[in-house]
A = this chain, B = another copy of it.
């Protein structure tokens, strides 16, 4: 149930700014056909489609065919992996940690 066939690394999928913008657009609009997404960018349809394929491979996007158009929908849950990962490091930028780093930097000079 809800299989995570992650052919593609999620970190990799979100590394590209175009793909992050696609994620944002899909978060705002529930379900959007390819041509409508393409209209938001300067690049051609093929390029946008490729980016969406990568997002699909990472499990971040679902698509379904409706008539002649392919509509895309966000599936944000794979982002949980990112959140867990980054949460581990949040202790390293606490205010105490920042002051310690400042002191260390001053020492070095």
- Bound Cα distance from A12 to B14, whole angstroms: 8
With both chains docked as a complex, state the minimum distance between the C-beta of A96 and any C-beta of chain B, in angstroms: 13
CB-CB under 8 A from A79, the residues of chain B are 86, 89-90, 93
Q: Whose C-beta in chain B lies nearest to the C-beta of A93?
A: B77
Q: Please tell me the size bucket of the interface on A.
A: 20 to 34
* Cβ contact within 8 Å between A27 and B76: no
Among A15-23, A32-40, A41-49, which stretch is in contact with chain B? Answer: A15-23
Binding site for B on A (CB under 8 A): 2, 9, 11-12, 14-15, 17, 20, 23, 27, 62, 64, 74-77, 79-80, 82-83, 85-90, 92-93, 98, 101-102, 105, 108
